[in-house]
């Protein structure tokens, strides 16, 4: 195996986006070392430019016929591309909103960016990892960077606390995850590539053994920790409350999406033998997450905690798509995550802005904000209403697609529960909107009364403004002009070979007597096959 041959086999072009990010990371790090503290004027923009360049590079990876690289270690199929785009974009938006925040807290920006970029890198590798060792190393890269980010405001006791707690629970769950994949390794007779594991397990006749079941549950436990699904959610409220808010924004979108990407790839390619069981376990987690997340959010008084519980609930909704196992299910899940990226980050950007100006994130302090800062109020309202699924905002279409896919696949009870809990969720989102919009001057909170004049010219405020406005525009327009996103999500699933044979075609249960419907179905089938 000579060197040139090896290089050709590696097919290293598939990790060009990640390469760009590593280069950016080193540039930021070394640049900061050379220039010193003043580097904070340009480092965030370099980082954002690197992330956007990575997104552009990912665009050229779309529908790459030769997607497997590093001798089976990494897979750059459309599914991984779309998830990597989501993760990279979430990091870019997070950087926009963290510039001012980090500056104001008096910590250094360059290191923050480096760690954030490493976390992004971990997430992106996790989305494409096609082999157990790769999966675990990227899992840990994302995990350890997240712990560091959580504890980045080290002079704030709450941040320390959050980091320590996150670290401890994270270590436990990653140990469980590691145990699970080591079982897979053993059961498959020493195979680490996901695609080969199933064949080996079937060949070794261990597809019905309790070992595989334990491996499944252990792996799901590790993933469920990342996506904060009940009952692996306990860290979420405390960590969300204590961590720096931009980090929370990244954790709630980037880290979660990486978890979902891993879930799809690992479960679909390594566990088809126990697919009934994994659907059952995930359905249980989805139900618990939707119920607990949305109901407990009703009683929260802190905005960050509210969003923490709401993100648990949102993860439950997304898991519906995962549980279905249909093409529409996966597509709806990706679509929802795409939209969730904008609306959730938009919400966090607004909270950061409010915190920067008032120093608090209690919900009651938001009352009367409309009088002082209409733009912030508008953006936060739109993002929250979209999270709640009010038409015609983006979130409505996301939920519609998810529930439609569920209904088609016959998961009636799951959809019904999703509907009920999303109704509950609208209530607590609207509570905040009402608090901001309709209060008269004398009911203003102290924080709003002392609200400083809106000044976008302070250093670091401009990117935040860009982030807020960008989220506002995308969240309001992504609903009305949702077709490109629908197509994107659908193609990502259609172009991914992994998802094609395994898709369990659960026929919807319409009555065959309806003539038009049968036609529609056969047409779509042809369209898919053709």
Q: Give residues 80-99 in contact with another protein (rule: CB under 8 A).
A: none
Report the residue from 93, 323, 437, 468 that binds another protein according to the rule CB under 8 A. Answer: 437
Is residue 142 within 8 A of residue 117, CB to CB? The reply is no
Taken in order 160, 141, 250, 396, is the CA torsion positive or negative?
negative
Listed ranges 49-57, 86-94, 247-255, 436-444: which one lies at the site for another protein (CB under 8 A):
436-444
Q: Which residue has the tokens 């992330």?
A: 51
Cis peptide leading into residue 231 (ω within 30°): yes
Listed ranges 78-86, 218-226, 253-261, 340-348: which one lies at the site for another protein (CB under 8 A):
218-226
DSSP code for 505: -
Tell me if 307 contacts another protein by CB under 8 A: no
Is residue 194 within 8 A of residue 270, CB to CB? The reply is yes
Report the residue from 64, 160, 182, 195 that binds another protein according to the rule CB under 8 A. Answer: 160
Report the residue from 43, 80, 141, 425 that binds another protein according to the rule CB under 8 A. Answer: 141
CB nearer another protein, residue 59 or residue 427: 427
Torsion angle, CA of 326/523/519/405, rounded to 10 degrees?
A: 20
Instruction: Mark 312-331 with x for binding to another protein (rule: CB under 8 A) and - for no binding.
Output: ---------------xx--x
Q: How far is the CB of 7 from another protein (least distance, A)?
A: 11
Report the residue from 87, 121, 127, 349 that binds another protein according to the rule CB under 8 A. Answer: 121
Taken in order 112, 118, 122, 124, is the CA torsion positive or negative?
positive
Rounded to an integer, what distance in angstroms lies between the CA atom of residue 18 and that of residue 80? Answer: 12
Tell me if 108 contacts another protein by CB under 8 A: yes
Q: How far is the CB of 52 from another protein (least distance, A)?
A: 20
Report the residue from 15, 91, 323, 349 that binds another protein according to the rule CB under 8 A. Answer: 15
Tokens in use for 304?
């960050």
Total of residues contacting another protein (CB under 8 A): 162
Tell me if 396 contacts another protein by CB under 8 A: yes
Q: How far is the CB of 204 from another protein (least distance, A)?
A: 4
Rounded to an integer, what distance in angstroms lies between the CA atom of residue 285 and that of residue 323? Answer: 10
Q: How far is the CB of 148 from another protein (least distance, A)?
A: 4
Report the residue from 84, 165, 256, 305 that binds another protein according to the rule CB under 8 A. Answer: 165
Report the residue from 342, 348, 354, 397 that binds another protein according to the rule CB under 8 A. Answer: 397
Q: How far is the CB of 89 from another protein (least distance, A)?
A: 20
Report the residue from 8, 23, 56, 157 that binds another protein according to the rule CB under 8 A. Answer: 157
Q: How far is the CB of 169 from another protein (least distance, A)?
A: 5
Subset of residues 29 to 68 that bind another protein, contact rule: CB under 8 A: 29, 37
SS (H, E, C) 59-125: HHHCCCCCCEEHHHCEECCHHHHHHHHHHHHHHHHHHHHHHHHHHHCCCCHHHHHHHHHHHHHHHHH
Q: How far is the CB of 48 from another protein (least distance, A)?
A: 19
* Other beta carbons less than 10 A from residue 443's beta carbon: 11
Report the residue from 60, 199, 204, 505 that binds another protein according to the rule CB under 8 A. Answer: 204
CB nearer another protein, residue 335 or residue 340: 335
Rounded to an integer, what distance in angstroms lies between the CA atom of residue 27 and that of residue 320? Answer: 41
Q: Exposed (0-12), middle (13-18) or buried (19+): which is 169, by Cβ within 10 Å?
A: middle
39: CB partners within 8 A, 6+ apart: 31, 32, 109, 110
Listed ranges 42-50, 75-83, 250-258, 360-368: which one lies at the site for another protein (CB under 8 A):
360-368
Q: How far is the CB of 65 from another protein (least distance, A)?
A: 20
In angstroms, the Cα distances linking 375 to 19, 424, 504 are 38, 27, 46
Subset of residues 455 to 514 that bind another protein, contact rule: CB under 8 A: 482-483, 486-487, 489-490, 494, 508-514
Strand partners, 302: 362
Listed ranges 47-55, 89-97, 188-196, 341-349: which one lies at the site for another protein (CB under 8 A):
188-196
Beta-carbon-side half-sphere exposure of residue 16 (alpha carbons within 13 Å): 17
Q: How far is the CB of 251 from another protein (least distance, A)?
A: 16
Rounded to an integer, what distance in angstroms lies between the CA atom of residue 521 and that of residue 152? Answer: 53
Rounded to an integer, what distance in angstroms lies between the CA atom of residue 322 and that of residue 317? Answer: 9
Subset of residues 243 to 262 that bind another protein, contact rule: CB under 8 A: 244
Q: How far is the CB of 348 from another protein (least distance, A)?
A: 15
């Amino acid at each position: 195996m000579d060197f040139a041959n090896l290089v050709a086999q590696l097919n290293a072009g598939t990790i060009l986006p990640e390469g760009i990010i590593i280069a950016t990371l080193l540039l930021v790090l070394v640049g900061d070392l050379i220039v010193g503290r003043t580097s904070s004027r340009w480092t965030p923009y370099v980082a954002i430019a690197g992330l956007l360049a990575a997104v552009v590079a990912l665009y050229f990876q779309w529908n790459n016929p030769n997607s497997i690289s590093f001798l089976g270690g990494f897979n750059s199929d459309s599914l991984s591309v779309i998830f990597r785009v989501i993760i990279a974009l979430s990091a870019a938006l997070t950087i926009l909103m963290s510039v001012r925040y980090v500056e104001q807290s008096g910590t250094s920006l360059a290191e923050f960016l480096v760690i954030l970029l490493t976390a992004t890198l971990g997430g992106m590798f996790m989305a494409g990892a096609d082999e157990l060792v790769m999966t675990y190393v990227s899992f840990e890269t994302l995990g350890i960077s997240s712990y560091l980010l959580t504890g980045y405001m080290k002079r704030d006791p709450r941040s320390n606390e959050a980091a320590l707690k996150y670290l401890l629970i994270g270590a436990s769950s990653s140990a469980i995850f590691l145990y699970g994949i080591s079982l897979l390794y053993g059961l498959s007779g020493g195979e680490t590539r996901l695609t080969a594991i199933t064949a080996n397990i079937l060949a070794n006749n261990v597809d019905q053994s309790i070992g595989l079941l334990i491996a499944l549950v252990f792996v799901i436990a590790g993933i469920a920790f990342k996506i904060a699904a009940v009952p692996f959610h306990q860290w979420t409220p405390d960590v969300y409350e204590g961590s720096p808010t931009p980090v929370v924004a990244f954790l709630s979108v980037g880290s979660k999406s990486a978890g979902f990407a891993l879930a799809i790839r690992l479960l679909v390619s390594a566990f088809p033998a126990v697919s009934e069981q994994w659907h059952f376990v995930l359905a249980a987690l989805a139900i618990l997450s939707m119920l607990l997340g949305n109901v407990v959010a009703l009683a929260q008084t802190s905005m960050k905690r509210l969003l923490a519980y709401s993100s648990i609930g949102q993860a439950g909704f997304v898991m519906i798509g995962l549980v279905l196992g249909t093409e529409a299910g996966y597509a709806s899940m990706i679509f929802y995550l795409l939209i969730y990226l904008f609306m959730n980050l938009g919400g966090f950007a607004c909270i950061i802005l409010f915190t920067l100006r008032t120093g608090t994130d209690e919900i009651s302090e938001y009352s009367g904000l409309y009088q002082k800062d209409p733009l912030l109020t508008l953006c936060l309202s739109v993002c929250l209403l979209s999270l709640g699924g009010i038409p015609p905002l983006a979130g409505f279409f996301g939920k519609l697609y998810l529930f439609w896919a569920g209904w088609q696949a016959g998961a009636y009870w799951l959809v019904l529960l999703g509907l009920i809990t999303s109704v509950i969720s609208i209530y607590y989102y609207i509570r905040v909107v009402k608090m901001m919009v309709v209060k008269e001057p004398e009911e203003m909170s102290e924080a709003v009364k002392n609200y400083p004049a809106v000044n976008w010219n302070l250093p670091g405020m401009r990117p935040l403004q860009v982030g807020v406005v960008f989220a506002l525009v995308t969240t309001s327009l992504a609903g009305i002009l949702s077709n490109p996103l629908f197509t994107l999500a659908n193609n990502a699933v259609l172009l991914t070979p992994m998802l094609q044979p395994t898709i369990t075609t659960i026929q919807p249960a319409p009555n065959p007597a309806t003539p038009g419907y049968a036609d529609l179905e056969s047409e779509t089938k042809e369209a898919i096959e053709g």
